[in-house]
Amino acid sequence: MELTVDRIAVGGKGLGLDSNRRVTFVAGAIPTERVRAQITSERSRFAESEVIEVLEPSLDRVDPSCAHAVGPHRCGGCDWQHVSEQGQRRLRVAMVEDALRRVGKLDTTSLTIRSARSLPASAYRTGVRMLVDGNGRLCYRRRRSNDGFRPESCEVAHPLVDGLIQDALCPGSTEVSLRVGARTGERMLVVDGEPGEVTAPEDVSVVRVGDGPTAHVHEIVSGTRLRISAGAFFQSSPQGAELLVELADRALHGVDRSGVLIDAYAGGGLFSATVGRGWSDSGSVIAVETNSAAVADARVNAPHARIEHARFERWKPVRADAVIADPARAGLAAGGAETIVASAAAVVVLVSCDAAALGRDAGLLTSAGYAVTDVAVVDMFNQTSHVEVVTRFEKIS
């Protein structure tokens, strides 16, 4: 079928109406484009489709720079390789605006939703997860498939990661995670098989999944050296982590730092160790995290903070002056939002990695007496439709 793509949908696909005015999601299409698309699945109220020919291209359309980003069996990783960098920034802002308006029911006409300063579009990812083929070689997953393929090189991977993808052999494993410290040069390979069977360059620590803090690399963010253990979360790049720290710190400008700061969903303590340093002299920092490896890292990375090993939504809240909350993709949901509201914090900085979850969470916080005062969209996952958003809320009632 032929159709015109009107807007970008949360999730990164184009959205238009087919000849019967049925809502149609179009993977690989950019708003304003006229395309020929093939239906991949149908429901009564909407259809999913994929571009097979672009009849009238958007000015934002570019040729993918990665050979693995084209064709029917393309890589499942970078779904926006066909969009220019500026175009990606505009589309992410549009997606976030859409989620805040449609999901969160916020009046976005009075909000400024802006792109934060740009981040590198290549060689940035310091952690990736991969499949292992029958010969022990590391593979990416193909789009909408469980099949793997061996990349010749990956342009979004940091060179230390890309080199390891090429050099490592992991017979006996089915899935592996690669993690490097871009600024320390340390590399780690976490396998689900026998580490003894792995062939990798000498500098690489090879550990079995679940080995936790016994295996780690270090990264340097905003001048702070952080330990990142196997099994603990870390942001996609040190530059991205640094920008989040900068935005969170700026969002807390003017807040009394002799009070209490809660670092919710703290991971290895990225925010406690950086932003929290400014609070620790006269105030206190409380980090709440559920993953044991990350909790152990946070104790090392932010010794000035009180680290609570707990699920945030079940944690007994204390009164606080400010909260930084950086939940996983599922977002805060009702439980997390209630814990924040119970802290009565004057300022909340919400770091979201899913637009729909942000929309819902913003709706929950605004109906509980907070107002959105700033929304910054971060290019944390360049070449993909994934978003990262730092939203500042202020308590108004």
Binding site for ligand SAM (CB under 6 A): 233-235, 265-268, 270-271, 288-291, 294, 311-313, 326-328
Look up residue 251 and give its two tokens. 């969002």
> Nearest to ligand SAM by Cβ — which residue?
267
Residue 25 or 265: which CB sits closer to ligand SAM? 265
Residue 33 or 297: which CB sits closer to ligand SAM? 297
Q: Rounded to an integer, what distance in angstroms lies between the CA atom of residue 50 and that of residue 24?
A: 10
Report the nearest approach of ligand SAM to the CB of residue 293 (Å).
9
Report the nearest approach of ligand SAM to the CB of residue 316 (Å).
13
Look up residue 268 and give its two tokens. 């290895």
Residue type, 289: E
Report the nearest approach of ligand SAM to the CB of residue 314 (Å).
8
CB 294, CB 229: distance < 8 Å: yes
Residue 294 or 372: which CB sits closer to ligand SAM? 294
Residue 27 or 99: which CB sits closer to ligand SAM? 99
Q: What is the 3-state secondary structure (H, E, C) of 301-369?
A: HCCCCEEEECCHHHCCCCCCCEEEECCCCCCCHHHHHHHHHHHCCCEEEEEECCHHHHHHHHHHHHHCC
Q: Rounded to an integer, what distance in angstroms lies between the CA atom of residue 101 and that of residue 115?
A: 17
Report the nearest approach of ligand SAM to the CB of residue 325 (Å).
9
Give the dihedral of Cα atoms 163, 166, 169, 175; nearest 10 deg: 90
Residue 235 or 343: which CB sits closer to ligand SAM? 235
Report the nearest approach of ligand SAM to the CB of residue 26 (Å).
30
Residue 67 or 330: which CB sits closer to ligand SAM? 330
Report the nearest approach of ligand SAM to the CB of residue 50 (Å).
30
CB 179, CB 188: distance < 8 Å: yes
Q: Rounded to an integer, what distance in angstroms lies between the CA atom of residue 166 and that of residue 118?
A: 29
Residue 270 or 362: which CB sits closer to ligand SAM? 270
Residue 294 or 322: which CB sits closer to ligand SAM? 294
Q: Rounded to an integer, what distance in angstroms lies between the CA atom of residue 336 and that of residue 264?
A: 9
Residue 15 or 270: which CB sits closer to ligand SAM? 270
Q: Rounded to an integer, what distance in angstroms lies between the CA atom of residue 244 and that of residue 351?
A: 8
Report the nearest approach of ligand SAM to the CB of residue 336 (Å).
7
Please name the residues in contact with 396: beta carbons below 8 A apart, sequence gap of 6 or more. 369, 370, 371
> Phi, psi at residue 89, to the nearest 5°?
-65, -40
Report the nearest approach of ligand SAM to the CB of residue 232 (Å).
7
User: Which strands, in side-by-side order, build the sheet including 127-132?
Assistant: 148-149, 138-141, 127-132, 175-180, 187-191, 204-208
Report the nearest approach of ligand SAM to the CB of residue 34 (Å).
38
Angle among Cα 83, 64, 121 to the nearest 5 degrees reads 65
